[in-house]
Structure 1
Amino acid sequence: MQPLGPVIVLDLFPPERQLLLELLSELTEEDRHKPTVCTGWTVKDIALHLLGDDISRLSRKRDGFDYLTSMGNPEALDSWDELVSYINERNDVWVQATRRMSSQLLCRLLALTGEELHQYFASLDPYAIGDAVSWAGPDPAPVWLDVAREYTERWVHQQHMRDAVNKPGLKEPRFFAPVLDTFVRALPHTFKDVQADDGTVIQLTISGTSGGDWFLLRKQQQWKLGKASTTRADATVLIDQESAWRLFTRGMSENEVLPHVTIEGNQQLGLHVLHTVSIIA
């Protein structure tokens, strides 16, 4: 099986941020207060959340500032549900506290943090081993995957905003293909408890100009992800690119996405692909 290469997205951060700022500058006040698929959050709220993400990442990773430790109150998170709850609560507190910020100031700050975040990511060795990317597994991950995860979060949230105001964008392969290529890195972790004979192959085909083919191979009691396989797939899953990203980010449920999916071969293995979640949720 042909191994997958890294997803290098460093050069996409500046244009993604520029397109976000252009979108925000075009919105009316009514647009900014339109609801989004992020429950309880408006378009402006998502922009505030993105600013908070930038500030948190720069403060924690670049500047070495750990808020909880500095307050003498480190929290032990013993389960996945506790982690998700903690992150959601922290995000909501930030958004509520910053709603008093003007849209003009918000855009200026997003421009500043976007530039500083790009500079910080550029200073890192993408092939060094860093922190775990939780939805891809508990093991330390290469820095490039962590950076790609950060890019996908910004891309997805910009889609949420664009959907709310009916202003599509960033669907060109340059921006979209790396998102899908990053999301599928969750597949081995998704299948970690699925038993199958060695040599079993599952093929995921995402149709569309930003899609592609990925192969999951069972080898030595582990699942390995690759880009090509000489072995005939035991299960083949076909899904369009729009449905794929929404499924992987819980924008569509498994039942909602089924009409957009074709599974050939082993149905049980194919359906398990639909359990893939490539965000902390």
Structure 2
Amino acid sequence: MKAPEIVPIETLHLFPILDELLIELLKSLTEEEWNAKTVCKKWTVKDIASHLLDGNLRGLSISRDHFFGENPEDINSYDDLVAFLNQLNMTWTNATKRLSPTVLINLLETTGKQYSEHLQTLNPFENAIFSVAWAGEVTSLNWFHIAREYTEKFLHQQQIRDAIGKQALLTTTLFYPFIHTFMQALPHVYANVKAEKGTIVSIIVTTEIGSQWSIIKEDENWKLITSFEADPTAIVKISPEDAWLLFSKGITPSEAKEKVEIIGDKKLGEIALNMVSVMA
């Protein structure tokens, strides 16, 4: 397996590919498939397609046009932010139930192209308009914000494909940047975990489309590392099919315990199963 690439994580070139695959998929759906239940228990396939449209529209409005619309009030914690976003998502999907699949597809085609073009204009090393909060960052650079947007598009399309049994996005080209971005949350999930300095924890996502990600305990913090000499104290092995679900709350840590292999310190390794790389 290849070693994790050096940041910045490059994803801009993949947005048009994902969008093209999405439109092709949505145009093929039957009425029954549009209404199929998904791993997002409150959402159908059509609801997720609508949510993807919301992502394009809000991204353009806020980042390109500097129009925020609904400004959050009393956001004093991560939980407050998640609650605010959940409310935005609910009101949007409820309102767009009146839109036909054809209208959704047409809007996704138009806005997807515009959003990709806008992201191309951002300086990857300038501060992003929003931080990647699930990675524990207060301020993030644009390259990370863009990679986070890529994971959103990948994840929600994967949820649609999972619901209707269509070919998944689990290829090296598309999956690796997705899971590599998700793994940037690994130090954050261990932030309050006490361990001896030099302790190493590794996650291995199996098969040729996966890789290995490792963190090491320093004086105060945990840090992602790409090479090390000591043996990891804990190694967690998980399949790509389980990884995208687990780290997006599609399955619970308890369910994941039955699917993963943990080598070494099991309690230390099990903490990784609580990593959530979405705002949830």
| Short-chain TM bin | over 0.9
Alignment partners' CA distance in 1, 2:74 and 2:118: 28
Alignment partners' CA distance in 1, 2:231 and 2:33: 50
Alignment partners' CA distance in 1, 2:132 and 2:85: 15
- Tell me the equivalent position of 2:198: 199
TM-score (norm 1): 0.94
* Higher-strand-fraction structure: 1
Q: Structure 1 2/25 Cα, relative in aligned 2: closer, same or farther at 3 Å? A: closer
Alignment partners' CA distance in 1, 2:5 and 2:99: 47
Amino acid at match of 1:147: I
- Tell me the equivalent position of 2:122: 124
For residues 24-72 of structure 1, the C-alpha deviation after alignment (integer angstroms, 9 at most, x for no partner) is 1001112111111212211111111110111011101110001135xxx
* 8 Å contact kept, 1:135–1:280: yes
SS at match of 1:147: helix
Deviates more, 1:179-188 or 1:99-108: 99-108
Amino acid at match of 2:155: V
- Tell me the equivalent position of 1:150: 149
- Tell me the equivalent position of 2:240: 241
Amino acid at match of 1:95: T
TM-score (norm 2): 0.94
- Tell me the equivalent position of 1:108: 106
Identity %: 39
Amino acid at match of 2:51: H
For residues 133-163 of structure 1, the C-alpha deviation after alignment (integer angstroms, 9 at most, x for no partner) is 0100133112111111111111111111111
Deviates more, 1:98-107 or 1:248-257: 98-107
Structure 1: runs of 5 or more not aligned: none
How many pairs align?
Answer: 277
Alignment partners' CA distance in 2, 1:41 and 1:263: 33
Structure 2: runs of 5 or more not aligned: none
For residues 183-223 of structure 1, the C-alpha deviation after alignment (integer angstroms, 9 at most, x for no partner) is 11001110111111111111111101221011101112111
- Tell me the equivalent position of 2:34: 32
CA RMSD of superposed structures (Å): 1.6
- Once the two structures are TM-superposed, the CA of residue 263 in structure 1 deviates from its matched residue by 1.4
Q: How does 1:52-91 map to 2 (within 5 A)?
A: 52-69=54-71, 74-91=72-89
Amino acid at match of 2:107: L
- Tell me the equivalent position of 1:179: 178
- Once the two structures are TM-superposed, the CA of residue 19 in structure 1 deviates from its matched residue by 0.6
SS at match of 1:205: strand
For residues 116-147 of structure 1, the C-alpha deviation after alignment (integer angstroms, 9 at most, x for no partner) is 11111100111223232010013311211111
- Once the two structures are TM-superposed, the CA of residue 82 in structure 1 deviates from its matched residue by 2.0
Alignment partners' CA distance in 2, 1:228 and 1:261: 23
For residues 247-278 of structure 1, the C-alpha deviation after alignment (integer angstroms, 9 at most, x for no partner) is 10011111111122111222221111111110
Amino acid at match of 1:20: L
Amino acid at match of 2:250: G
* 8 Å contact kept, 2:48–2:160: yes
SS at match of 2:140: strand
* 8 Å contact kept, 1:136–1:185: yes
